[in-house]
Chains A and B, each alone.
Chain A
Amino acid sequence: MEAVKKEHELIVSVSPHVRSEESVSRIMWTVNISLLPALIAGIYFFGPKAAYVTAISIISAVMSEWGVQKMTGRRSAIGDGSAVLTGLLLGMNLPATAPFYIPIIGSLVAIAVTKQLFGGLGFNVFNPALIGRAFVLITWPRAMTTWMEPTAAFVGLDAKTTATPLGLLKEEGLHKLLEVFGSKASLYTELFLGHRAGSLGETSAIALLIGAAFLLYKRYITWHIPLTFLGTVAVVAWVFGGKTPETGKFLLFAGDPILHLLSGGLILGAFFMATDYVTVPSVRAGQILFGVGCGLITMLIRLKGGYPEGVMFAILLMNCFTPIIDRNLKTKLFGKKKEKGK
């Protein structure tokens, strides 16, 4: 009995003494994997260039993370997959034709400024990939809004430039879109599959939804933000997005929600960026508010703003409100009768 005691140094720590298997790196790598279908679709439609842009973006993101952590003496965390995720998301938000310095600068801004300057993972206010994207969009507006036609790369000819569906809708109207795509049915089909101009990882709704379904199934994300985001976009698009075909005058309840849902960066944004834990509210009620806010701002920009697409700015703007939402929409204490919020 004495021997038993002496042999053993007992570890003493505060309860609980068991922990779940979940870890930050497991979550991050799972999200990375869930984006693969959409990335593959992007490479399929836009060719090797898409892979090239994404690869540069990821490598620069990881190197920026590593560099900053070296300089600041912070514990190196590039293995946790979060820098890879930022790089991947940024890459997927760029046109496949983007010149090489765009993903490099974008990643640097995303990681060094947006994430590390605020204290690293967990402390950043804004979604790093989106700030990176916003920065390069403002700095190189031309390169960032020159879109190539999908699959052109495989045909081997010079890639023809074209406009995105949302761009066409904004500049020329629905009739032009229908002219380009043939019919409404084929417009929806092409949008659903991803056969359209746009950022290299945003076009294939089906591929993105497969990844999103996987994350929902794994409970790494919940429906609260994506559903309210998409729902708001659909409702606003239907109510306010319509025009009388002949006169082009504004017409209530005549918009096309499906077109709006499947275009732009909405699906990528709603499922993969408006769900970034760090920069969105963590209480469910607040998440619903966040989703609705994102939807409203997105549609405001799409219908009234100068840009054809508003998802990126909508999410970034709502990121600003996250701290306020979190402070004001608390959870309901067990046993407490009434409380504001929920």
Chain B
Amino acid sequence: MSLATFKGGIHPPDRKELSAGSKITPAAPPDRVVIPLSQHTGAPAKAAVSIGDEVKKGQVIGAQEGFVSAAVHSSVSGKVVGIGDFPLAIGRMTTCVVIENNRQETWAELKEDPDYMSLSPEAIKEKVKAAGIVGMGGAAFPTSVKLSPPKEKPINTVILNGAECEPYLTSDYRMMLERPDEIIEGLKLLMKSLGVSRGFIGIENNKPDAVAKMKEAAKGASGIEVFALEVKYPQGAEKMLIKALTGREVPPRGLPMDVGVLVQNVGTALAVYEACRYGRPLIERVVSVTGEGIKEPKNLMVKIGTLVSHLIDECGGFKNGSSKVVSGGPMMGFAIYSLDVPVTKGTSGILVMSESEVVHAEDYEPCIRCGRCIDICPMGLMPSMLSVLSEVGHYEECKEYNLWDCFECGSCAYVCPSKRPIVQFIRLAKSMTKP
């Protein structure tokens, strides 16, 4: 009964049953895709095509610009009909390449490699870079950068994140059920590229079948171990996951590599495998479209650049007076104000919330100092103080309460009986101060 975990955390209803049974199926190809040149952390890619160009599926349309950046590829074959600014799910505008789909699905030339396991570490890194792979759990940090740690921070453990601790989402779960062997191959490639002999896979214990499948697939793979984790949000946050699996604590403001660990999402491992084995760039991903407000919740294989509205249609449309659409999970996802935003490499889910599920955040009360948020903050912060100080405008003082160590997991706001929008207060304070 002692499953690995961390201190603090919350137990929101996981609601995974809505979409857990839905096999990954390809979404109908859209007529056009809107592909952002910046869907990752770091510098945007530089447009490598012009309006009027014919492009093939998998062709580079945005070239990596600088070290922390990622290449962007076309997810369809067709014609570039526009390059301009479009809104993303996170609210920011960014340059996108609009491509009309000719439905030929003509691939650019890909370099297959059946003997991928004998690729050198450098070659693996190159392939990952060329494929434009970024963290697919949401943060979208370029994977090739993570694979090139500075010399003084040697990595000795690779962790695959299969926790999927956000309620509702089931895309990682379905991948682990349906493609466990390829995920393991991806993990091996990641380990090889870093010269690491230890690989862990952490999965929350509300997915016992995924644990079993991954264990089965990992059999015989040397150095790879699969662990069931306690079901507790935010179990899948990097620092919490590392703590649970290795007992190591990443220092404040530090990175996993400070404790010799690299964390990648299971979906990313799959993408790494596909890049090395088939030379395939990252042009599609699994997206859970779920929630009480959508007719048929599904796990869809979606071309990057597909608009959310297309996915809503694909899932039978809205129901139950759906009134909020979230890109990502309910704890950390972004509520979108238009359905005309594209799916990006980091979009793990589209959550459609019904009228009754929506919390009306304007009705909040003063902090009654109940201490619940303090007890559960996985970072050991005092969210109550942060919210109170920010509310009265004492932003600088928030720093004495480690404002910048908050990673906005939302656990505090979840438990608050006064329904205080704590994360909103924290973001406000962050926007008014410098770390």
Contacts and interface: CB of A to CB of B under 8 A. Distances in A.
A23 B322 CA distance: 25
A330 B410 contact: no
Interface stretch (B34-42, B181-189, B202-210, B362-370): B362-370
Contact of A282 (B370, B405, B408, B424): B370
A27 B417 contact: yes
A333 B313 contact: no
A4 B314 CA distance: 12
Interface stretch (A117-125, A129-137, A193-201): A117-125
Interface string A1-36: 100110011111111111110111011000000000
Interface stretch (B20-28, B157-165, B224-232, B325-333): B325-333
B427 interface: yes
Contact of A336 (B239, B251, B313, B423): B251
Nearest to A18: B330
B414 interface: yes
B333 A334 contact: no
A15 to B, nearest CB: 5
B415 to A, nearest CB: 5
A89 to B, nearest CB: 16
Contact of A16 (B336, B338, B414): B414
A123 B366 contact: yes
B335 A334 contact: no
A277 interface: yes
Contact of A14 (B10, B361, B416): B361
Contacts of B359: 13, 17-19
A73 interface: no
B414 A10 contact: no
A23 B360 CA distance: 14
B309 A5 contact: yes
A11 B324 contact: yes
Nearest to A75: B365
Contacts of B108: none
A266 B369 CA distance: 23
Contacts of A227: none
A121 B335 CA distance: 32
Q: Taking chain B's interface residues, is the majority helix, strand, or loop, or is none over half, making it mixed? A: loop
Nearest to B384: A282
Residue of B312, B371, B401 ringed by the most chain A CB atoms within 10 A:
B371
B337 interface: yes
B46 interface: no
B250 interface: yes
A71 to B, nearest CB: 19
Contacts of B369: 122, 277-278, 280, 282
Given A4-B339, A335-B254, A15 B333 contact: yes
Interface stretch (B63-71, B193-201, B281-289, B373-381): B373-381
B413 interface: yes
Contacts of B396: none
Nearest to A224: B371
Nearest to B418: A24
Contact of A330 (B317, B401, B413): B401
A4 B313 contact: yes
Contacts of B371: 277, 282-284
A105 B209 CA distance: 64
Interface in A182-239: none
B79 interface: no
A161 interface: no
B367 to A, nearest CB: 5
Given A333-B380, A336-B252, A121 B326 contact: no
A13 B335 contact: yes
Interface of B: 7, 10, 12, 167, 239, 243, 249-252, 254, 309-310, 312-313, 317-318, 322-326, 330-340, 351, 353, 357-359, 361, 365-372, 374-375, 377-382, 384, 401-402, 405, 408, 410-411, 413-419, 421, 423-424, 427
Interface of A: 1, 4-5, 8-20, 22-24, 26-27, 77, 119-123, 277-278, 280, 282-284, 330-337
18 contacts: A4-B339, A5-B338, A8-B323, A14-B424, A15-B330, A15-B332, A15-B408, A17-B351, A22-B415, A22-B417, A23-B419, A26-B417, A77-B365, A120-B366, A280-B369, A330-B382, A334-B243, A334-B379
Given A4-B312, A77-B365, 17 more contacts: A4-B309, A8-B318, A8-B339, A10-B324, A10-B339, A12-B336, A14-B427, A16-B423, A17-B359, A20-B12, A20-B416, A282-B371, A331-B381, A331-B382, A334-B379, A335-B249, A337-B251
